[in-house]
Amino acid sequence: MRQVKRHIVKENSPLWKQIDNLCFLSKNLYNYANYLVRQSFIFDNVYLLFLRQIKLIKKLQTNLLVDQNYLNINTKLKEVTY
C-alpha cells in the first residue's frame, strides 16, 4: 500500500503563485525529458538512458532553476505559520 500526503493550497494563499510556478516548471521538465527520450528512440533507435538525460538537461541548466525555486519555496514555507 502506498500512502500519499495531500496539501490543498487555495488561490488566496501567499504561496499560491510560487507553487503554481513550480508545478508549471515541473511539468515542462518532465515533458522535455520525455521529448528527449522520444526523439532519441525515433531518430537513433536507442532508448535514452536516465543518466544521459541528466547530462543533456544539465547543459541547459534547467535543474539549477528548479533547485533555486525549491529553495525559495522552502524559505517561504518556514515563514508562513498555519
Q: Give CA–CA dist 14/24, Å, rounded.
A: 17
* Cell 533555486, residue located: 68
pLDDT at 66: 57
Over residues 15-55, the pLDDT tens digits come to 999 999 988 988 888 888 778 778 877 888 777 666 666 67
* Structure-model confidence comparison of residues 21 and 79, the more confident one: 21
3-class DSSP assignment, residue 22: helix
pLDDT band (50, 70, 90) for residue 73:
low
Q: Give 14-22's long-range contacts (Cβ < 8 A, gap of 24+).
A: 14/76, 14/80, 15/73, 15/76, 15/77, 15/80, 18/69, 18/72, 18/73, 18/76, 19/73, 21/69, 22/66, 22/69, 22/70, 22/73
- Domain boundaries defined on the chain: 16-79
Q: What percent of the chain has pLDDT over 90?
A: 12
**pTM listed for this prediction:** 0.56
Q: What percent of the chain has pLDDT over 70?
A: 59
pLDDT at 31: 83
